[in-house]
A and B are shown apart, each in its own frame.
Chain A
Amino acid sequence: MAALLEVRDLSVRFGGVVALDRVSFGVDAGQVVGLIGPNGAGKTTLFNVITRVYRPSTGTVLIDGRSVLSIRAHHVIRNGLARTFQNVALFRSMTVLDNVIVGDHTRTKSGWLQASVPLPGALAAESESRKRALEMLDFVGLVARADHPVAALPFGLQKRVELARALVSRPRLLLLDEPAGGISHEEVDAMARLLRRVHTDLGVTMLLVEHHMAFVMGISDHVVVLDFGRKIGEGTPAEVQRNPAVIEAYLGAA
């Protein structure tokens, strides 16, 4: 099977600090891949390279065999890639629905000039966009809160809004930065159920960074382990949990 995402020999250096050191791995279409590692292992840095926030020092990231380095940041989404952020990057002054509509932006066919003048075509595109956003809010269970200001929602629900915003563009690959971070026990279970539905019902391939071990092991088909910027192991959740190098990184040398 061809890899949907391929990280090849990737290094990122900030001055003298090596954040990522020749990391390689692939994510196949239809997989859920977990990316784990102690704090500072380079997980978020890797996300930021994939989504064009940082430039790598060496190496490449391929989506469908095409290098993301040749894609401009605002075109990443057109290549079927969406992400969520560790601390939630929502538009706080907007309603839940408007946040999700912004996520639909690239699917709204009318350009900005057309959209600024209320032409019939633009209006139709807007109502389509609104409909898709509401559908996605329904999917994440927030349709009743569509008109609430997003800032008034508890953090756990804000994460769902961000998920809906990422999903409304119908990405093939979704990058999730700590989907279970900072939320309560019950919410973690609900999030795991929701992400399973994203995988099965919407057919989205996922790469997720997570510290919550039960969560990551429960949801992933494949787990990649980073430590100090290097890949120290990968395999099925069971294999990774038996891997001596992984155990040492997490628990320290025995």
Chain B
Amino acid sequence: MQEFFQQVVSGIAIGGIFASLALALVLIYNAMGLVNFAQGEMAMFATFVAYALINRGMSYWIAFPITLVLAFGGGILIQRLVIKPVERAPVLTLVIITLGLATLVNGFAGFIFGYVPRSFPSPFSADSADLFGVFISYRDMGVIAVSGLVLLGVYLLLQRTTVGLTMRAAAHHPEASRLLGVQVSWMLALGWGLASAVGAVSGIMVAPILLLEPNMMQSIIIYAFAAAVLGGIESPLGAVIGGLIVGVTVNLAGAYLPGVGGDLQLAVGLAIIIAVLIARPNGLFGRAAIRRV
């Protein structure tokens, strides 16, 4: 039973990482009806930036917020330079562009930083705390705390501030928002910036576990897709809960299902995507798409 609880807590920790990346996907999906396939690569690149800062002697807790600010700016820059010129293109064009962007960012990271996996520091001790007989590592607790704070911050930004309100308005009804004075295009850019920063958190949190290299996020993005689809791709809350469910499920499957082990965990993520799409295409929190005919 103890081991079970330990697996659940580790699952919540990794789930928080999935949730951050899934939330990034949902933010952009809400803003433009588009799945950003480059989200994971953008997060990986941001993690390299954090790595470079820490490697130059900057303390972890200074490098972390600086990286988020840079990722935010980078997200805005990508939206302005790459996405805005083709804003009105069909969604398939945009999807192909994000796929191209993913390849580009991946190659660029390889070019600058190389493909040798690097160990990335964790600010949390590798020890465990004994909580009522269940041993929980400080790392898991730290990851849960950081992801939780970031997700809470995004929630407050979107729900409690005027800028969050106008971002949601712009995403929901661009034409009506424009007439209310909302600068829709800039709100979309802000959405990209925010998504990029939130995604960066997932990269930085997962890097100590996986080792940092350009392909680090390629499995994580699959889990994030699973989380976003499970939550209902439009729902930020759904992405978070989806992330936690996927994290715990994958972790438990790895520990208890014979044969799943480490390698087949990704298959569990894919299985979740397929099962949700068949059984409940709108996810847990999504609204059914109703179209007038």
Residues of A within 8 A of B (CB): 51-53, 73-78, 82-83, 85, 89-94, 98, 101-103, 105-106, 108, 110, 112, 115-116, 118, 122, 125-126, 129, 165, 169
Contact = CB atoms under 8 A, between A and B. Distances in A.
Contact of B165 (A76, A101, A122, A169): A101
A52 B184 CA distance: 14
A126 B161 contact: yes
B280 interface: no
- The A contact surface, by secondary structure, is helix
Interface string B135-177: 0000000000000000000000100011111101100110111
Given A77-B181, A78-B181, A91-B176, 6 more contacts: A51-B179, A73-B179, A94-B168, A103-B180, A116-B164, A125-B162
Contacts of B183: 74, 112
Interface of B: 157, 161-166, 168-169, 172-173, 175-184, 186-187, 190
Given A74-B184, A78-B181, A115-B163, A89 B176 contact: yes
A60 B30 CA distance: 36
Contact of A105 (B168, B173, B180): B180
Contacts of A76: 179, 181
B163 A112 contact: yes
Nearest to A125: B162
Nearest to A73: B178
Contact of A74 (B157, B161, B173, B181): B181
A125 B178 CA distance: 21
A136 to B, nearest CB: 13
Given A89-B175, A169-B181, A105 B166 contact: yes
A112 B181 contact: no
A91 B161 CA distance: 16
A94 to B, nearest CB: 7
B72 to A, nearest CB: 10
B179 A91 contact: no
Contacts of A125: 162
A41 B178 CA distance: 26
Contacts of A101: 162, 165
Contacts of A126: 161-162
Contacts of B173: 89-91
Given A53-B175, A105-B181, A118 B168 contact: no
Given A89-B173, A112-B166, A118 B161 contact: yes
Given A53-B175, A89-B175, A93-B172, A169 B180 contact: yes
Contact of B162 (A73, A83, A115): A115
A144 B179 CA distance: 27
